[in-house]
Structure 1
């Protein structure tokens, strides 16, 4: 398949280019597009055949549900059966933005989108290209991240091109995604709100609006469930570079010492070792291949650069990546959620 790359400046949107991509969506094709979180792999959420093409392009397991993206609250009428009062409060506060809300699905949404479940995750992205594409297509767009299943999510056009060239109809190249980790996923389909995936909208921010939110046990642990799970990113090893990733957790001085010890041991075995540090600690690893992922005091910088950094270790041909853990509070919970899955839950406690 020939993949067309469509360059669009998010600061000066070319409506003709948007219409070109929207026509492909309406024809049942798959188009990658930028959001504020990561690039999405989009298809008409009301077309089961089109949705199936997403799974084919990604190599994604069919029991891993997709998130439906809308551009206007009125689109909820054909996506969900009912909008809970708490959902309305959160939409008013955080939409458009990196928050996905799980609700009971409308009969128009095919089960291919929801992995056979009667619930669907919905969000309104905070990105001018994404909103323009949905508006022009005139349909809700189902979209997981635009990467090969299991690989680090794409935050730059070159990431999408590397993974999806020849697999989909078109890629909208619209710059770098600012948040860098996928949306927060909150389930409001039951009696109590449940956080299934942390993201840029933190647990603390949610609780400020709707009160107590339960946290799913699988956020920092593997989920050993048969069949579909309610949210993407829960069940499988995700976000992984080609290198083996190992997280080292504990007091930072012990973490640094343990990473150096592990790095030396792997180098003696002939492995090419990379270290994922922060701005505060990178100088401690001057004798190693080290990449600073961001500022430990500003975790949002780590979130924004995390997936790009993992891909940089691939470019550097690292065999093993030793990564410093961060505090799992606020945005740090989202960072650690992605890191533990990238590592296949391989964590050393220093």
Structure 2
């Protein structure tokens, strides 16, 4: 995102977007993670429009986006008045995480206040909240003076949008959809989600750019993996959250991961249908030696071996490759290490959901 992205959208345009939200309409907004399809979080009819536009199951919860409080001169920003309309109780842990990482790509799950609409929580007694750091999103939220729900601005299960053009391509039919252009998304994958609703333990529900070790280093809060807690403690009571379905973020072209040095194996696994294959290779590795495979038209696509850069370009690459008519897209398996967990999670779900299916959209 360029530093002048704020000037991309005049305040008059943002005022119009605020009015659209107040009138129960939808607005596509830039955030630092991906573009979101925003609606007034207090308006059940507006929330239903999101599910309809995305083709998203209505039991799938949404994330509430809030403006950060104005700093002025305070050393310590007071989040309490902003959160109390949404959240039943705010622990010391929660405040530490908020002070360290908001606004930013961290979503926290709380026990919800009774006034929070069940339309946005998927009928659960928890609510997921974050404060996006993108200046346009913040300006919109400050002027709106309320919360907006904003799942990724794409058809359900498909690749998330990281530019205004992606959003327009995704919703060609919705000619009246207002799209705020905030440039390309900086982070490029959805926020990290931490569950704080079960009491004293913070649990990772979706990996993202902010990792458990970074959280521990900055706040002293230990984040548990769902599998680390014995069933007696939590059972299957972890809340459902966005992006936790097995198939998600998926291109229409079949996508597979290959292990280091095993490109040819991956190619030979799909001999029947594959004639044109796009193979993503790490920029740190020398060019692949692809043996003479007369039947295969293989093109190399260089991807960054830096996890932050890789994440910021992942959906862009998948979208572009999806539109180029390949028969198969091969990506390298990300290295181990939690800084890669977010992109590994997205890639695995994308593989699982990829390929033409009865639900895939004709426009793709």
* TM-based fold match above 0.5: yes
- 1:229/1:11 CA distance change after superposition, 3 Å: same
Separation in 2, partners of 1:266, 1:23: 52
Paired position in structure 1 for 2:5: 9
Show structure 1 runs of 5+ residues with no match.
1-7, 219-225, 250-254
* Separation of aligned partners in 1, 2:210 and 2:192: 6
Q: Which moved more, 1:269-278 or 1:113-122?
A: 269-278
Q: CA 1:228/1:25 → structure 2, altered by over 3 Å: closer, same or farther?
A: farther
Residue of structure 1 aligned with 2:116, choices 100, 109, 115: 109
CA 1:280–1:49: 2 relative to 1, 3 Å: same
Distance across 2 between alignment mates of 1:306 and 1:125: 20
Separation in 2, partners of 1:345, 1:273: 18
> What is the rounded CA distance, in whole Å, between the counterparts of 1:259 and 1:270 in structure 2?
14
Question: How far, CA to CA, are the matches of 2:274 and 2:61 in structure 1?
Answer: 40
Q: In the superposition, relative to structure 1, how do residues 91 and 285 fare at CA in structure 2: closer, same or farther (>3 Å)?
A: farther
The equivalent residue for 2:301 is 291
Q: Across the two proteins, how many residue pairs are aligned to each other? A: 325
* Gap change, CA 1:292 and 1:217, over 3 Å in 2: farther
Larger radius of gyration: 2
1:180-219 → structure 2 map (5 Å cutoff): 180-191=188-199, 192-208=201-217, 209-217=219-227
Given the superposition, is the C-alpha separation of residues 230 and 264 from structure 1 closer, same or farther in structure 2, using an over 3 Å criterion?
closer
In the alignment, which residue of structure 2 is the partner of 1:223? none
Q: After TM superposition, which residue ranges in structure 1, 4 or more long, deviate above 6 angstroms?
A: none
Distance 1:46 1:62 in 2: 16
In structure 2, do the counterparts of structure 1 residues 116 and 316 end up closer, same or farther at CA, with 3 Å as the change threshold?
same
- Please say if residues 75 and 140 of structure 1, whose CA atoms lie closer than 8 Å, have aligned partners that are also in contact: no
Deviation of 1:81 after TM superposition, in Å, equals 1.7
1:143-222 to 2 correspondences below 5 Å: 143-167=150-174, 169-191=177-199, 192-208=201-217, 209-217=219-227
Any unmatched runs of 5+ in structure 2?
Answer: 69-78, 229-235, 291-296, 355-364
1:212-248 deviation per Cα after TM superposition (whole angstroms, max 9, x unaligned): 2211259xxxxxxx99952111124111111111112
* Equivalent runs, 1:302-321 vs 2, <5 Å: 302-321=310-329
| Corresponding residue number in structure 2 for 1:221 | none
**Could you state the TM-score of these two structures normalised by the residue count of structure 2?**
0.83
Residues in 2 aligned to 1:265 and 1:330: alpha-carbon distance in whole angstroms: 29
Distance 1:109 1:101 in 2: 15
Whole-angstrom distance in 1 between the partners of 2:266 and 2:109: 41
Question: Does structure 2 conserve the Cα–Cα contact (< 8 Å) formed by 1:104 and 1:118?
Answer: yes
Alpha-carbon contact 1:273-1:321 (below 8 Å) kept = yes
CA distance in structure 2 between the partners assigned to 1:101 and 1:157 by the alignment: 26
Aligned partners of 2:212 and 2:222 also within 8 Å: no
Q: TM-score, normalised by structure 1?
A: 0.87
1:60 to 1:262, Cα distance in 2 relative to 1, 3 A: same
Aligned to 1:3: none
Alpha-carbon distance between aligned partners in 2 of 1:16 and 1:88, rounded to the nearest angstrom: 34
Q: What CA RMSD, in Å, does the superposition of the two structures yield over aligned residues? A: 2.4
Note if 1:122 corresponds to 2:129: yes
Q: Structure 1 residues 130, 153: closer, same or farther in 2, change over 3 A? A: same
Distance in 2 (CA, whole Å) between partners of 1:217 and 1:46 is 34
1:260 aligns with: 264
